[in-house]
Amino acid sequence: MDYSVLRVIKEALNNHKGWGPAWRTPTPKPHYDIVIVGGGGHGLATAFYLASRYGMRNIAVLEKGWLGGGNVGRNTTIVRSNYMLPGNEPFYELSMKLWEGLEHELNYNAMVSQRGVLNLCHSDAQRDAFRKRGNAMLLQGADAELLDTEGVRKLYPYLNFEDARFPILGGLLQRRGGTVRHDAVAWGYARAADQLGVDIIQNCEVLGFRIEHGQVSGLETSRGFIGANKVGTAVAGSSGRLLSKAGIRLPIESHVLQAFVSEGLKPVIPGVITFGAGHFYLSQSDKGGLVFGGDIDGYNTYAQRGNMPVVEDVCEGAMGLMPMLGRARMLRSWGGIMDMSMDGSPFIDRTNIKGLFFNGGWCYGGFKATPASGLCFAHLLATDTSHEVATQMRLDRFARGAMIDEKGQGAQPNLH
Amino acid sequence: MLINHPLLGPRDAQEFVYKGDASLLQRPDPMAEDALEKFTDYAYLRDNPAGEHRELWYHEQGDRSWLVVTRNTLTHEILDVQLASEVAR
């Protein structure tokens, strides 16, 4: 069933009785060609692109809980492609282009809003680094604009420009960046994949892998054994926990990232702003709440909640950047578990077990990557070769000394 | 989180820097045949368990001691704290 204006009018006259569920609730078949573990944004996108672009049909997505209940519903909804390194930027720019066409491709309103992402700089060195990053973005076909103080002032006159320690000297603006309604991304991909025959099986937890002679043959699940020629895992946050069932150790630690939303306010912040001196970023949702976040808590955890020191740190960042925020009240805070990789960059790769493929290590950048991650993982699952923009996202890059370390921090996850 | 320091008593976790899995105390033998492979695993691969986790916390804003803290990663409950110097002995 296509969604359209005509359809809305028709349903309005029919008391909205004809919409029906957006996807089926199938019982699992005994065997699939490809099983995706994880019904979050990345898993659903993978299934959708496998069906729509690679012509695969016999696919299932297994989800432990319900669709949209994991990190795809817990992030701060920001999309951008302002990366620098050749192993990253083409990938994120592909993702940005896919976001731009997403709603037509899925026939679903994901509220893609290219309202601009502005990274502020507070020192000459930081401005130089932003100029370099902006140039790297332009070379890869993304858009980037370096603003001076006056340029920033025109967009956001209420920022704390004259701070003695961290004056705002300018910013790197990506106008094509912005926000996307995160739940709608999960629902849109799920509905579109379901229409192409993908079985989406919720409340189905993977308990173990059946591996024979180094080849995966299926999954033990809470709903019985499900056979598969190929298995792709897209469970970022729980990658360590899941892959340990296959005896695989990963270059990943699981950390918690907190996010916050204020009470609803009148429109005040048109785009996305990031503070360059602390770690703080902010946007305003269409409902009016300010959505913001900061650093990870910095220790291994699988609990989807963080501790007070980070709450305090984020609020200090908010007050340092935009003192007027002190008048707003924080409404809610929550946490999501991140796969923090050793160099801050993700993996889309095969494993040493035949037929078992891995997608994870997204750190706190997974949401913006959703479409490209799905497409590249689908490419890998369908063709057994890496997509051209994901050739460096390999698990063995540490052994080869080929890290993708955007910030040059070294092998410690809580520094990224 | 409060970490019950063996010498100083309960201290706010904010005074500490988290330094990862306590198995990092056991360095591989640099003279072994497979030292390169072992050190690659040592530096980059982690067990990352859900549940009890032995981990290093460095008391940077305190007495600069290294602690081995046993903590449940599902609940944040701290089960045991020892000085790393005593664990490594």
Which of A277, A310, A341 represents a domain boundary (last residue)?
A341
Q: How many other C-beta atoms can be found within 10 angstroms of the C-beta atom of residue A318?
A: 25
Which of A341, A357, A374 represents a domain boundary (last residue)?
A341
Q: CA of A313: which chain B residue's CA is closest?
A: B14
Same domain, A122 and A143: yes
Same domain, A35 and A104: yes
Specify the pLDDT at position A415: 79
Summarize the confidence of residues B22-34 as an average pLDDT.
95
Assigned domain for A25 exists? no
Same domain, A156 and A166: yes
Q: CA of A301: which chain B residue's CA is closest?
A: B73
Backbone angles phi, psi at A242, to 5 degrees: -75, -50
Taking the Cβ of residue B47 and every Cβ of chain A, the question of whether any pair is shorter than 8 Å is answered with: yes
Within its chain, how far is the Cα of A361 from the centroid? 11
Q: Where are the alpha helices (DSSP H) in chain B?
A: 35-44, 84-88
Taking the Cβ of residue B40 and every Cβ of chain A, the question of whether any pair is shorter than 8 Å is answered with: yes
Same domain, A149 and A122: yes
Given an 8 Å threshold on Cβ–Cβ distance, is B50 in contact with A302? yes
Assigned domain for A17 exists? no
Chain B positions touching A241 (Cβ under 8 A) are 48-50
- pTM of the predicted structure, to 2 decimals: 0.95
Domain extent, residue A234, equals 31-108+182-251+343-415
Assigned domain for A11 exists? no
Chain B positions touching A251 (Cβ under 8 A) are 44-46
Same domain, A101 and A125: no
Q: What is the number of residues in chain A? A: 416
Q: Where are the alpha helices (DSSP H) in A324-386?
A: 370-383
Assigned domain for A225 exists? yes
CATH number at residue A366: 3.50.50.60
Assigned domain for A4 exists? no
Same domain, A349 and A244: yes
* Closest residue to A252, CB basis, from B46, B49, B55: B46
Same domain, A260 and A160: yes
When divided into structural domains, chain A yields a total of 2
Instruction: Decide: B19 and B56 in contact? Cβ < 8 Å.
Output: yes
Looking at the DSSP assignment, which residues form a beta bridge with residue A170?
A: A121, A148
Output the CA torsion sign for A302, A303, A308, A313. Answer: positive
* Closest residue to A302, CB basis, from B18, B45, B74: B74
Q: What is the number of residues in chain B? A: 89
Q: Is A355 left (phi over 0), alpha (psi -120 to 50) or beta?
A: left
Taking the Cβ of residue B5 and every Cβ of chain A, the question of whether any pair is shorter than 8 Å is answered with: no
- Closest to B87 in 3D by CA, of B72, B71, B67, B73: B67
CATH number at residue A168: 3.30.9.10
* Closest residue to B18, CB basis, from A252, A411, A414: A414
Chain A positions touching B47 (Cβ under 8 A) are 240, 244, 249
The Cα of B70 is separated from the nearest Cα of chain A by a number of Å equal to 12
Assigned domain for A56 exists? yes
* Rounded average pLDDT per 10-residue block, chain A, 416 residues: 91 93 96 97 98 96 94 95 95 97 96 97 96 96 97 96 94 97 97 97 97 96 97 96 96 96 96 93 95 94 92 94 93 95 96 97 95 98 97 95 88 79
pLDDT in tens, B36-45: 999 999 999 9
Q: What do you get for the CA distance between the two ends of chain A, in Å?
A: 44
Specify the pLDDT at position B13: 94
Taking the Cβ of residue B31 and every Cβ of chain A, the question of whether any pair is shorter than 8 Å is answered with: no
Assigned domain for A15 exists? no
What's the Cα-to-Cα distance from A322 to each of A165, A386, A415, B81, rounded to whole Å? 14, 43, 25, 40
Angle A359-A364-A369 (CA atoms, 0-180°, nearest 5)? 55
Same domain, A149 and A201: no
Q: Which residue has the tokens 């999960």?
A: A186
Given an 8 Å threshold on Cβ–Cβ distance, is B41 in contact with A303? no
Specify the pLDDT at position A176: 97
Given an 8 Å threshold on Cβ–Cβ distance, is B44 in contact with A253? no
Q: How confident is the model at residue B66 (pLDDT cuts 50, 70, 90)?
A: very high
Same domain, A177 and A52: no
Given an 8 Å threshold on Cβ–Cβ distance, is A251 in contact with B48? no
Same domain, A332 and A261: yes
Which of A341, A358, A387 represents a domain boundary (last residue)?
A341
Which residues of A lie inside 8 Å of B (Cβ-Cβ)?
238, 240-241, 244, 249-254, 298-303, 307, 309, 342, 398-399, 411-414
Specify the pLDDT at position A240: 94
Q: Which residue has the tokens 């492979």?
A: B37
> Distance between CA B87 and CA A18 in Å, rounded?
67
What domains are there in chain B, each with its CATH number? 2-88 (3.30.2270.10)
pLDDT in tens, A45-87: 999 999 999 999 999 999 999 998 999 999 999 999 999 999 9
Q: Where are the alpha helices (DSSP H) in A205-357?
A: 239-243, 308-321
A151: its two tokens: 């340029």
> Distance between CA A19 and CA A332 in Å, rounded?
32
Same domain, A285 and A363: no
Q: Flag whether the ipTM exceeds 0.90.
A: yes
Same domain, A223 and A87: yes
